[in-house]
Amino acid sequence: MGKASRRKQDRKDTPDGEKAVDPAVQALTRRNQRRRLVLLLTPFLTLGAAGASWFLLESEGLTGVTALLGAGTFIITLLNKLNDEIRPSDGSRAASIDFGNSR
C-alpha cells in the first residue's frame, strides 16, 4: 500500500475529517491527568489522615509523620510535574558557541 493510499484510508477511517489521535499521545494525556489528580488530592488526603490520627487516635507523633510524608509527596509530585513541562535545550547548539581566542 502506497503513501497516498494510506492517507486516503486514514481519511476514510476518521469521520468528518477529524484527526486520528496517536495512542502514544493518548497515553501521555492519561498520565498527565493522573499526575494532576495526585497533585490535587495529596494535600487533602494527608491532612485528612493527619486529622484522623490527631482526633481519633490522639497520636501526636503519627500526626507529625503523616503531615511530613504528605508534604514531601506533594513537593516531589509538584517538582516532577514542573520538570515535565520544561523542554530540554538543544545540545548541539552549545557546542557551536565561539568564545573567541583562548590564548
Residue 38 burial (10 A CB sphere; 0-12, 13-18, 19+):
middle
Q: Which three cell numbers stand for residue 1?
A: 500500500
pLDDT per position as a tens digit, 11-60: 665 555 556 678 888 888 898 888 888 888 988 999 899 999 999 999 99
Q: What is this structure's pTM?
A: 0.56
- Angle among Cα 39, 47, 70 to the nearest 5 degrees reads 50
Q: What is the pLDDT of residue 22?
A: 85
Q: pLDDT averaged over the chain?
A: 79
Q: Which residues contact 14 (CB under 8 A, 6 or more apart)?
A: 20
Residue 1 predicted with pLDDT over 60 = no
Question: Higher model confidence: residue 86 or residue 48?
Answer: 48
Sign of CA dihedral 94, 95, 97, 99: positive
Q: Which three cell numbers stand for residue 58?
A: 490522639
